[in-house]
Amino acid sequence: MSQENEILTLDGSVFEGGGQVLRNCVALSCLLNKSIQIVNIRANRDKPGLRPQHLSGIQLVRDIFQADLQGDKIGSREILFRPEKVGSSKTYIADTKTAGSIALLIQISLLPLVFSAPPPVSHLTLPPRANKVVLKGGTNVNAAPPIDFLIEIFRPIVQREFGFTFDINIIGRGYYPQGGGEVMLRVDPVVGRALNPVKMVDRGTVVNIKGQTSKHYEYTCSGISDPTLPEISGIKPDIEINVEKAVSKGFDLLLWAETSTGCIMSGSAIGSKRQSPEDVGKKAAEELLQNLSHGGCVDEYLQDQLIIFMSLAEGKSQLATGPITMHTRTAIHFAEKMLGIKFQISKLESRQYVKLEDDAPDEAYDGGPFIIECEGVGLKIVNDNAQQTA
């Protein structure tokens, strides 16, 4: 049960000040069985407070953990979230009723689903069944990772490095502004053990370049070859066309490079009426090349998403990155605040990694490569659903 007299108040305007604060902190609230109050939600955005996708996300997690949730309405800048126990349902539904990002719904619910397994029936010791969530909204929208990023980049890295399994099945695609997309998320709970630590410090060399697009195959090769990156010269991109039905019209492109050490770097772009398909292809290619140029093992989008997993894993995690994004610094700040751990960031200088001090200026996080390290808490759940740390 939650400790009602111990409510941790968190300022949602700190650092990046967007929806990521809400997603990470609500997820950690459930896993730690800790009541939280978040104030100044999305204070740094043009439309502050909860938007449909944020509201749908916290209500989904509320249902999974039978939480007491206050302040859950559009535009709210403050919520109170008190988790209780894992619910008995194995299938949940979250519908933004807009083009709100389905990828961001997955971000807030994935770890709660990983660590939510109802107690066994009687004396039976069968493994827990998978949790399932039907998610409705936008699959490919601006200001959020496309659903294909989660499938092709995020999922293989997270499953391999942290040691759990989940599936993302696209039923229908939805674009801005109509939305209407639908995705089935299936997550196998982890019981009796912690997540593995990640160690990704060697980028290796590029061996494949792949892509996923909704249409206009001809634009996808634009901008791939670059004389400043001779290691990828001559690699012809292997582009696949999305086959799922699209409820609303739109086109997009995701490119990714696979390396000899198992790293996956990406670049993406979503089309609009003001952009030609060639422009979309060029933007995605330039983003991919930029992510390859810094020598790290993850791109700027995957970088911040791995922080919460590193903080919960058992043992020391090490991650080589390019410039440290504000999203990553935000994720680190709230993981440290809620878990009582400490991250260390070091930058390569004169062939040696030098630790950045806590009061380092913003410009110190530019360039790279960097190494992000932390000793995770080793979170585990046991059969009676009690959250424990190793």
- What pLDDT does 351 receive? 79
Q: Does 303 belong to an annotated binding site?
A: yes
Q: Is the pLDDT of residue 85 over 70?
A: yes
- What pLDDT does 126 receive? 56
Cα R_g (the chain), whole angstroms: 21
Domains of the chain: 7-199+300-315+378-389 (3.65.10.20), 204-293 (3.30.360.20)
- What pLDDT does 91 receive? 84
Under the banding of pLDDT at 50, 70 and 90, the label for residue 19 is very high
Q: Does 302 belong to an annotated binding site?
A: yes
Question: Partners of 373 in the beta sheet?
Answer: 318, 344
Please tell me which residue in 54, 294, 327, 333 is annotated as part of the active site: 327
Instruction: Determine which of 114-128, 218-232, 325-339 has the lowest per-residue pLDDT on average.
Output: 218-232
Instruction: Determine which of 120-129, 180-189, 262-271 has the lowest per-residue pLDDT on average.
Output: 120-129
Task: Supply the mean pLDDT for the chain.
Answer: 86
Q: Is the pLDDT of residue 388 over 60?
A: no
Strand duo 199-200 + 314-321: pairing: parallel
Q: Does 388 belong to an annotated binding site?
A: no
Average pLDDT of the segment spanning 136-141: 92
Q: Is the pLDDT of residue 221 over 50?
A: no
Q: Is the pLDDT of residue 58 over 90?
A: yes
Alpha-carbon distance of 108 to 102, in angstroms, equals 10
Q: Is the pLDDT of residue 264 over 50?
A: yes
Strand duo 131-137 + 78-82: pairing: unpaired
Residues above pLDDT 70, as percent of the chain: 87
- What pLDDT does 89 receive? 66
Under the banding of pLDDT at 50, 70 and 90, the label for residue 95 is very high
Pair 44, 13: CB distance under 8 Å: yes
Give catalytic status of residue 327 as yes or no. yes
- What pLDDT does 44 receive? 82
